[in-house]
Amino acid sequence: MMKKNTILLLAGVLILAGCISSYFSITDSKYIFKSDRIAVVSGLDDEVSVYLAGELSRELDAKTTFKVMPEEEIARSVPGYPVTIHGPWSAAYFGIDEDYTRTDVNRIKIIMSKLDVDYLYVLWAPSVVRSSNSIQINIITQLLEIPSYREIAHSSYYIKYTAVDAFSIDRSAKNHISNATKKAISIGGSKNMEDAVRDTTERAVKEIIEATGKGKPR
pLDDT in tens, the chain (218 residues): 434 333 333 333 333 333 456 899 999 989 999 899 999 999 999 888 999 999 999 999 999 999 999 999 999 999 999 999 999 999 998 899 999 999 999 999 999 999 999 999 999 999 888 877 888 899 999 999 988 999 999 999 999 888 765 444 443 333 333 333 444 455 555 677 888 899 999 999 999 999 999 999 87
pLDDT of residue 3: 40
Class of the domain covering 18-212: alpha beta
pLDDT of residue 177: 35
* Residue ranges of domains in the chain: 18-212
pLDDT of residue 205: 97
pLDDT of residue 135: 85
CA 143 to mean position of chain CA atoms = 11
pLDDT of residue 172: 37
pLDDT of residue 189: 57
pLDDT of residue 17: 35
